[in-house]
A and B are shown apart, each in its own frame.
Chain A
Amino acid sequence: MKTLTTSLFAPTRRAFGAAAVAAAMIAGLGASQALAEIQHPEGFNPDEWVIVASVINTTNPYMISNIEGAEAISKALGIDLEIVNSNNSSQTSISSILAILASGKKPIMFVNTVASSDAPPIVDAVKQSGGYVSIWWNKPDEFKPQAIGDNFVAFQKHTGVDSGRCGAQALAEALGGEGNVILLPGVQDSTTSKTRVAGFKAEIAENYPNITILEERPSNWDPQLGARNAKDLIVKYGDQINGVWSADDGMQIGAMQSFENAGMLDKVKFSSDGLYPKTLEDIKSGRGDNAIVGETFHRGYMASAIGLYTAYLAASGQIVPSELEPEKRESFFKLSCVTPANYEQYLQYDEPGAPDAFVERLVETGPWNTEPVPLVGGGVEVLPES
Chain B
Amino acid sequence: MRQILSRSTNGPIGMIAALLALIIVFSLLNPRFGSVENLQNVLFQVSVPLIIVVGTSLVIQMGSIDLSVEGVMGAAGMAWILLSPNTRLETDIGVWAWVVALGIGLGFGLLTGAIYAKLKVPSFVVSLGTWYVGLGVAILLYGNSLLPSLTSETLARWPTRLTLGLPNSFWLAAVVLMVGVLISHYTRFGRGLMAIGNNEPIARSNGMPVDRYKIAAFSVAGTLCGLAGILATMQLGSGSPDIGFGQLFVVIPAAVIGGTALSGGEGGVLRSALGVFLLIILNNGLVLAGVDPDFQSGVFGTILLIAVIAVAWPQRGRLKVAK
Q: Give residues in A with beta carbon < 8 Å to B.
A: 58-59, 61, 64-65, 67-68, 185, 188, 215-218, 222-225, 227-229, 231-236, 253-254, 257, 260-261, 276-278, 281
Contacts and interface: CB of A to CB of B under 8 A. Distances in A.
Contacts of B284: 232
A261 B44 CA distance: 11
Contacts of B235: 224, 227, 257
Given A217-B287, A236-B32, A231 B44 contact: yes
B287 A222 contact: no
Given A59-B242, A61-B147, A222-B246, A232 B293 contact: no
Contacts of A68: 144
Contacts of A281: 87, 149
Interface of B: 30, 32, 35, 37-38, 41, 44-45, 87, 138-139, 142, 144, 146-147, 149, 156-157, 160, 232, 235-238, 240-243, 245-246, 283-284, 287-288, 290, 293-294
B147 A236 contact: no
A231 B45 contact: yes
A11 B87 CA distance: 47
Nearest to A256: B237
Given A222-B242, A236-B287, A278-B146, 17 more contacts: A59-B142, A185-B293, A216-B293, A223-B238, A224-B235, A224-B236, A227-B236, A232-B287, A235-B37, A236-B288, A253-B236, A253-B238, A257-B238, A261-B160, A276-B147, A281-B87, A281-B149
B238 A278 contact: yes
Interface secondary structure of A, over-half rule = helix
A257 B246 contact: no
Nearest to A215: B290
Contacts of B242: 59, 222
A223 B243 CA distance: 9
A222 B138 CA distance: 17
A68 B144 CA distance: 9
Contacts, number: 82
Contacts of B157: 261
Contact of B293 (A58, A59, A218, A277): A218
B240 A58 contact: no
Given A59-B242, A225-B246, A257 B237 contact: yes
B167 to A, nearest CB: 9
Contact of B241 (A59, A185, A253): A59
A28 B144 CA distance: 27
A185 B38 CA distance: 23
Contacts of A217: 287, 293
Q: Give the 8 A-B residue pairs with the shortest CB-CB distance, closest first.
A: A232-B287, A261-B160, A64-B144, A59-B241, A235-B38, A278-B147, A257-B237, A277-B146
A185 B283 CA distance: 17
B232 A235 contact: no
A227 B240 CA distance: 14
B108 to A, nearest CB: 18
A67 B245 contact: no
A197 B257 CA distance: 36
A65 B146 CA distance: 11
A218 B297 CA distance: 11
Contact of A223 (B41, B236, B294): B236
Nearest to B242: A59
Given A253-B238, A257-B237, A231 B147 contact: no
25 contacts: A58-B139, A59-B138, A59-B139, A59-B240, A59-B241, A64-B144, A68-B144, A216-B293, A218-B293, A223-B236, A224-B245, A225-B246, A228-B45, A232-B288, A234-B41, A235-B41, A236-B30, A236-B287, A253-B147, A253-B238, A254-B236, A257-B235, A257-B236, A257-B237, A277-B146
